[in-house]
Structure 1
Amino acid sequence: MTDTAPTPTVTEDDHHGDISVESSGEHGETLVVTGGDAIPRVVLTRAPGAEVDEHVVIGTRDPRHLRMTVGGDDTPITPAKGRLTRRSYRVDVTYAGTSYRLVPVSVSTSRLTRDGKRLGEFSSEGDLRVTAEWEDGVEVEPVDAAVGYALAAAFGTGGQSLWTAVVEVVSEALP
C-alpha cells in the first residue's frame, strides 16, 4: 500500500464557514472532515485489506470494513448495499443518541435527516467537493454539518430511480 499526500478540498458552508474534506491512503482509505473550532472532526476509515469498490470514494459499503469517529468517539455507521433503488444507497449513522440518514432523492442529490427531520440536501460527484443546501428554518448544528459532509464525500450523492434503472437494463439487453 502506498500513502498519498492528503488532498484537502474546502467548501464554504452558509451556516458553518469553511469545511475541509481530505482523503489519504490507497483509494481514499481515510477520509477526514474538519472545519474550524466549532465543527467536530470526523474520520472515516476503510479497513486495510478490505476489497475496494472503485465506485465508492471510501472504497466499500460494507459496514464490517468501516470505522467512523465523530469528535474522537466511535460512531456506528451502516451503509445499505446500494442496488437498484435510491433507498438502497442510504447511509445510517448514530452519534450521541441521534440518528442520521443520508439517502438519495434525485439523480444528483441526497437528503440528510436527523431523527427523521430534514436538515438539507447534499451534492457531490465523488471528487470530495461537497455542496450543502440547508432547509429554511431548521437549526443545523455543527455536528450535523460534519456528519453530512463526511457521508456525502465518502459515499457520493444521488441515485437513479428504480424505473430509470430498469429502463436502462432493458435497453442494454435489446439488440
Structure 2
Amino acid sequence: MNEANSFIRSTLGGWQFSGLVSAQTGRPLTVLSGANSNSGGSRAGLGQDRPNLVGNAYGAGACPANGTTACRDWLSPAAFVTNPAGTFGNVGKGSLRYPGYYDWDMGLGKNFKFTERIGMQFRAEFFNVFNRVNFDESSVSGTGNFLKLNSGGNFGALRSATDPRIGQLGLKLNF
C-alpha cells in the first residue's frame, strides 16, 4: 500500500503552472497631411500640417478588433483630406491609435525528486497560446509616429505581425 501511495504522490504531485497575460491599447498616433500651408508655425517644406477628418478613420476595410489575418488596412485613406491653405486641420495630435496588443503565454512543468539534493524539472512553454494576430505598430505605412496622407497607396496598411504561437520544451537538472 505504501508503494502505491508513493507512486500516486510522485505522479500527481510536483506540477507547476505559470501564465502571463499582456494586454495594452495601441499607442496614440498622429496623421499628417504631408502638405505645408505654413499655418501652424511649422517651417516651409516640412509637411507637418494635420489633415481634416471627413469620415470614419477606421472605416470599411479596417481591421476587426479580434485580430484576424484577413486584416490589411488599419486606417481608411478616404477619411482624410488635406487641409486648405491657412487652416490647421481638425485631426487632433494623438487622436487616433495603433492596433492594440493581446498575448497569452503559458507554461506547465513537472518536478521530479531523485534524492534530497538532486531533482529534475521538465517544462513545456507556449507563447501566444491562442495564436492571436498582433500587428506590429511599426508596420503601419508611414514614418515613425506620424502617418502621411501622401505616402502612396499603402497609407494606413498593415505590413507585418508579431510572432505566431511558439512552443518549447525544457529539461533542467537541479543539484
Under TM normalisation by the shorter chain, which class is it? under 0.3
* Higher RCO (C-alpha under 8 Å, 6+ residues apart): 2
Structure with greater strand share of residues? 1
TM-score of the two chains, using structure 1 as the length reference: 0.26
TM-score of the two chains, using structure 2 as the length reference: 0.26
* Rg larger for: 2
